[in-house]
Structure 1
């Protein structure tokens, strides 16, 4: 059964925001010809070109997952696509993704790593957030980062905690504890155990760490893109949450 995402936006709104963020991402890619080797601050191992090609491959992989019903395996990317330049590969792969979105209803079946949400709608939500984060990344690499839409950022806090956290292979938590995150009157509690993390959509009294902020600030910290404006993130439980998120995203 598909889980309820209490902060989720209508699918048409995800599509609108994704299109806007993609348009900006493509515009900056086209204008960054002489700066493609500029380092991406939130991803130190990437320059702009690696960021763009990564994003394009994410789009293409999800398009193929929706089109065929399963995640592609092996050498599945056509050579003619791999030979495209940064702007061309980004535009081509996004076009294939939106073709699949346009050809399906959000409730249609599509494989994902969330067992209880095997739908096209999962990927609409997921890739709206992926596009927003990487639009921010390329802007940051060029020295002009702009905030993520407030409603999308609030939903993104929930998404990174409930969808992304725990999907990796890091099961060796070095610390345990509880972290409460608060934004716009909403709260989440992360219960950090040695081998798993449990997330609830409510706060608790006396957690080991409490982090509050407006949605964009909190989301960018969770994704490792920006620091928090106070010392909350240096509390051991908060630092452990960020470490586990880094391992899973």
Structure 2
């Protein structure tokens, strides 16, 4: 009897999971990941070149490397913002590469919180409204939204500035709002791309200490890209990248 395409696909997925030896304690697993950009005919750039890594639940991992080493590309693959050319990315043992666009959007909404270098706050919305936005998309009722937003703004130390617009907040305060927003749907993973890049040293350390507190007190899994060695060393583990590859993994003293 001829197998259906659905049965064949299920068998392939099961075999793939066996081949990749998925760890039940891992929040992120990446296997032999590649990303190739075709610039012009005959010219390719390999942004990722066979990257494999694992981040366990509750781990705080930083990624460092020179410009063009593949750091942000790696975050985009893990965050389901882009498709790899080859390899596999598992979030909670689910292969992101096998998802359609709607499934990837749903994954980002429910499982992944994003923190960006430039905050990406909506300028015409207050701090409260910016944090509330993902909850509106998720269809949370009014009473639940209010409780979550107030708790998160208190958590990041901005409970008294909930009505302030981004333009009325300092850079460090804007990043705190962005962190609160990233936590609003209780994500499994926080992905932070240069979260201190636009801040001075003092404000940057405040943000990193906040992330460390979230990691330790809430057991929040965090994957962070940074160019600052001092910031990178404050994670539990530091990955170094060059030419699209991870060249070193260092356990820090933290």
* TM-score normalised according to structure 1 size: 0.27
Q: Which has the larger radius of gyration?
A: 2
TM-score relative to the length of structure 2:
0.26
With a CA cutoff of 8 Å and minimum separation of 6, indicate the structure with the bigger relative contact order.
Answer: 2
Larger relative helix fraction: 1
